[in-house]
Amino acid sequence: MNLRRKTPSDSLYLLLDTLCNAFGGIILLAVLVVLLTSKEKSQSSTASDSQEMLQRRLALAQTNLQQSLQLNASFNAKANDAAWKEQMDLLSTRKDLQEALQKTLNVIAQTSKELEAANAADPSDRLKFLNAELALTQARKLAAQNSLSAAMENVKRLRQRLVAMEQQVTAKLNELQRPLRLPMEHETGKRVIYIIVHYGRIYPCRNADLSRNETDINWSSRLDSENAEPIQGKGIDPWQNVGALNSYFNSQSGDSVYVVFCVFEDSFPAFIRAKQSAISSGISYGWEPFRNVDGPVAFAEHGHTPKPQ
C-alpha cells in the first residue's frame, strides 16, 4: 500500500503553487510593470525639478551681473568727478601727514627717553664716560698718525731704493754699451791692407810680407772680382793669441800702410780688440760693417775704399 502525505499546516506550498502556474506569472509581470512605471515617473519629476532650479540660478546670475555693471558704472562716474578726485587726493595727503606725524612723535619720544636717561645719570659718571670716549678717540688718532708716519717712511725708503736701482741699471747699461765715435776719415797716399773680422777671429788678407793669405782664407774669382771666404776656426784669436796679433801689426810700417777692417755682425768685440792693437802699433785704421747674409767680401778694381781715421 502507498503511504499518503499529510497536508502542511502553513500556506508556503500554496504560494509556490500559485507562482508556478500561468496565472501567477501574469500577476508577477503586472507587478514589475507597475514598479518600473513608478520609477520612471519619479525620475522625470526629479529632472523637471532640476531644470527649474537651473533656470532660477541663471535668472539670479543675470540679475547679479546687471547690478555689478550698474555699480561699476557708478564707480567710474565718481572716479571721473573732479570733486571725488579732490577728495581722494585729500585723503592721500591726510594719510601722508599722519605717517609723518607718527614719525615725528617717535623721534620726540626717543629724544625724550635719551634726555631722561641723561638727566637720570650721575654727572660724574657721565663725565667719566665722556673722558673715556675722548681718550679712546685720541688713542685712535695717535695710532692713525703713527701708521701714516710709517707709511711715509716706507715711501721714502722705496724712493731711495728706486733711485739706487736706477743708478745700478744705468751703470749696467754703461758697462754693456760702448760709445761709438763717428769716424773722421781723411785722404792718404798709404797702401791699404784689408783684414776680415769674422767668426770672432782676425783674418788678414795679406801676410806680414804682404803676400796673399791663402792659409786662413779661401779665394775665388768671379768675373771682375775676387771673393775672400774666411775658414772657420782659422785666423788669429784676439784673446787667446794676442802676441800673434801684436806681432802682425808691429811688422807693418805705419808710414806706408793702413788697415781696413771688414767687420761682420757676429765679431764686433774682436774688432774692438784688434783695433786697439793696431792703434798701439801706430797703424791707422778704417772699418766697414758687413752682415752675415751679405756673403763673402768681394774685391774689385772699381769700388769703394774706406779711408783711414
Q: What is the pLDDT of residues 220-260, one digit of tens each?
A: 887 778 889 999 999 999 989 888 999 999 888 878 889 99
Residue 158, pLDDT score: 92
* Structural domain that includes position 129: 122-180
pLDDT of residue 237: 92
Based on the structure, what is the number of domains in the chain? 2
pLDDT greater than 80 at residue 143:
yes
In 3D space, the residue among 285, 201, 211 whose CA is nearest the CA of residue 244 turns out to be 201
Contact between 191 and 307 (Cβ < 8 Å): no
- Digit-coded pLDDT (tens) for 29-84: 777 777 877 766 665 555 555 777 888 888 888 888 888 788 877 777 766 777 77
For residues 268 and 175, state if they share a domain: no
Sign of the dihedral defined by the CA atoms of residues 141, 146, 150, 153, in that order: positive
What's residue 295's pLDDT? 82
Look at the alpha carbons of 92, 94, 99, 104 in this order and tell me if their dihedral is positive or negative. positive
Cell of 181: 765715435
More reliable by pLDDT, 3 or 208 = 208
Kindly report the pTM of this predicted structure: 0.42
Helix 22-80 to helix 82-120 angle, to the nearest 10 degrees?
A: 80
197 shares its domain with 151: no
Q: What is the pLDDT of residue 23?
A: 61
| Statement to judge: residues 224 and 275 lie in one domain | yes
Helical (H) or strand (E) element with 155: helix 123-176
Q: Is residue 49 part of a domain?
A: no
> Could you read off the pLDDT of 246-296 as tens digits, one per residue?
999 988 887 888 999 999 998 999 999 999 999 998 888 989 899 888 888
226 falls within a domain = yes
Residue with cell 769674422: 198
- Whether 86 maps to a domain, the answer reads no
User: CA nearest 283: which of 251, 305, 306?
Assistant: 251
Specify whether 241 is located in the same domain as 219: yes
Do 215 and 133 lie in one domain? The reply is no
Render pLDDT for 109-127 as a digit per residue (tens, 0 to 9). 888 887 776 666 667 777 8
Give pLDDT, residue 195: 94
Q: 214 is written with which cell numbers? A: 791663402
The CA–CA distances, whole Å, from 97 to 94, 102, 110, 111 equal 5, 8, 20, 21
